[in-house]
């Protein structure tokens, strides 16, 4: 069983979208028994809150739902639980590397778009600021099959 943890700043936009899209890929490919998936925040700001309406709308447009999700900040247990920590932008990477309890956990932290040749080093910008939730969906939907291929 592989444990994949998606992380963004608030855990109400990008990372719950990633969790829903990745879980859907696992279902389509009959791989649900091989992976456990979760998403968390680097910040406690949105703790207890559901995904942003724009995130839910973008997911719904693609037949997905994350309305039961609630934001929570990452813990030391999450770092230990995860085999791979997929994060969205450079601030997420820097924060997680600073928060990681040890070097092994820090080394689990990956930038999502690094998996796509030609997009290495690029961020998935925060739709909380850009309001471009469909762009966020498309970037995640492009990158996550490549992550699944790399991890499966
Ligand atoms: P996310 O978006 O990191 O993609 O969930 C954000 C959500 C909330 C805030 C920032 C980004 N905030 O500042 O509350």
What confidence tens digit (pLDDT) does each residue in 46-77 have? 999 999 999 999 999 999 999 999 999 999 99
Query: Residue 120's CB: how many other CB atoms inside 10 A?
Result: 10
The whole-angstrom separation of Cα 81 and Cα 61 is 32
Angle at which helices 133-151 and 14-28 cross, to 10°: 50
Average pLDDT rounded to a whole number, residues 79-88: 98
Give the single-character DSSP code of 42. Answer: S
The whole-angstrom separation of Cα 45 and Cα 9 is 9
What radius of gyration do the chain's Cα atoms show?
14
Where does ligand 1 bind, in terms of residues with CB under 6 Å? 8-14, 45-46, 126, 128
Q: What is the pLDDT of residue 101?
A: 98
Q: What is the mean pLDDT of the chain?
A: 98
Q: Which of 13, 14, 105, 112 is catalytic?
A: 14
pTM for the complete prediction?
0.98
Residue corresponding to tokens 């966020």:
136
Q: What is the pLDDT of residue 62?
A: 98
Q: What is the pLDDT of residue 76?
A: 98
For the chain, the domain total comes to 1
Look up the CATH number of the domain holding residue 99.
3.40.50.2300
60 belongs to the catalytic site: no
Q: Give the structural domain span for 52.
A: 2-151
Report pLDDT digits (tens) over 90-147: 999 999 999 999 999 999 999 999 999 999 999 999 999 999 999 999 999 999 999 9
């Amino acid at each position: 069983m592989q444990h994949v943890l998606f992380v963004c700043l608030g855990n109400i936009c990008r990372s719950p979208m990633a969790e829903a899209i990745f879980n859907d890929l696992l279902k389509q490919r009959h791989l649900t028994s091989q992976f456990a998936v979760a998403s968390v925040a680097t910040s406690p700001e949105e703790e207890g809150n559901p995904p942003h309406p724009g995130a839910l709308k973008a997911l719904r447009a693609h037949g997905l739902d994350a309305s039961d999700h609630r934001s929570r900040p990452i813990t030391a247990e999450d770092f230990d639980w995860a085999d791979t920590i997929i994060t969205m932008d450079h601030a997420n990477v820097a924060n997680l590397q600073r928060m990681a309890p040890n070097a092994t956990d820090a080394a689990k932290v990956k930038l999502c778009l690094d998996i796509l040749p030609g997009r290495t080093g690029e961020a998935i910008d925060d739709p909380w600021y850009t309001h471009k939730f469909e762009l966020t969906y498309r970037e995640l939907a492009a990158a996550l099959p490549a992550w699944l291929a790399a991890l499966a």
